[in-house]
Chain A
């Protein structure tokens, strides 16, 4: 399942997508993110799932533009070089902007 966390407002689309079928529950993104936007949660959409999956905390989901700002191109990062995307082995994390 693809979970989209974030929002759309007058200044653009700010969504982080997590592919829960790819996410193996390792938690490396939680460690890697300098803004602490990720957490590991029980997979609420699959009652049979054994491992936890990554999710964006509700605190950060409504301010992603600002939480993720320090890692964005304007701050000298390439999109593929984002700490969370680099940390994710199974390639489950995507950014819309």
Chain B
């Protein structure tokens, strides 16, 4: 069996925060924010005049309002901004109605389309959000407006949480899972179970047969990629194709997905996990501008 260090939390992905060093919010006119309270992670993003100023990404706790507050406080840390300085905030994600300081809640599907459009550029037509607990396929136009969507939130196969379970089983840190799964000389057949629980039992069996960790991970990553491909077939894939959410950081899944679909993945230098919060911040800005225009 794989050796697992006692007490280690291999599933714990790196929480992060970032401030744009080249910007000062005091120079800007409109400070808008978005908070994406997901089932597994919460992100807060702050934009100044439509440019990303700072963000944070952390784990969602058992209390959604508190998670939203914590993420926003962390994003604003060291910037001198307070929640009261934000002109408009939009909440999104599965806990969107629980963001105490948000003026409006908008569905995460619309926010991911808008955020993906900002992150990957207006050429993106298909966005796949591989989140912690669900998977969404979205078609959008050049302005990031949703044209069609499909969501799978009934089954954990193809989600970040499924990957966390595997990281834990194999004792490989979640940040390294993707790279490690690519270190196989030959692609093993994918695990046959789509259900995370049964896939885990199947993987335990493979380890017992003496499969090395990277081979088991390769089998799981390709099963996850295949599972998502069958979901995408329903709405079709129009290039450019981009992936958002935590799994977008896992090349073991994304490379296999791109190969199976025969498409090239759009690239970004931004953190793919913040797409939802970014979209929410863009909506907040648009709503605020609409409001002050109405007052004039």
Contact = CB atoms under 8 A, between A and B. Distances in A.
Do these two chains interact? yes
A8 to B, nearest CB: 6
Chain B interface mostly? mixed
B194 A10 contact: yes
Contacts, number: 44
A44 B110 contact: yes
B142 to A, nearest CB: 15
A75 interface: no
A57 B244 CA distance: 26
B266 interface: no
A45 B107 contact: yes
Contacts of B107: 44-45
A8 B148 contact: no
Counting chain A residues whose Cβ lies within 8 A of the other chain, the interface size class is 10 to 19
Contact of A45 (B109, B151, B153, B230): B109
Contact of B149 (A4, A10, A96): A4
Nearest to A2: B148
B235 A62 contact: no
A1 interface: yes
A2 B149 CA distance: 7
Given A1-B147, A9-B155, A45 B234 contact: no
Interface of A: 1-4, 7-10, 13, 15, 44-47, 62, 96
30 contacts: A1-B146, A1-B147, A1-B149, A2-B149, A2-B235, A3-B149, A4-B148, A4-B149, A4-B151, A4-B234, A4-B235, A7-B152, A7-B153, A7-B155, A8-B230, A8-B231, A8-B234, A9-B154, A9-B155, A13-B234, A15-B150, A44-B106, A44-B107, A44-B110, A45-B107, A45-B109, A45-B110, A45-B145, A62-B153, A96-B234
Given A4-B235, A15-B234, 6 more contacts: A7-B152, A8-B230, A15-B150, A44-B106, A45-B109, A45-B110
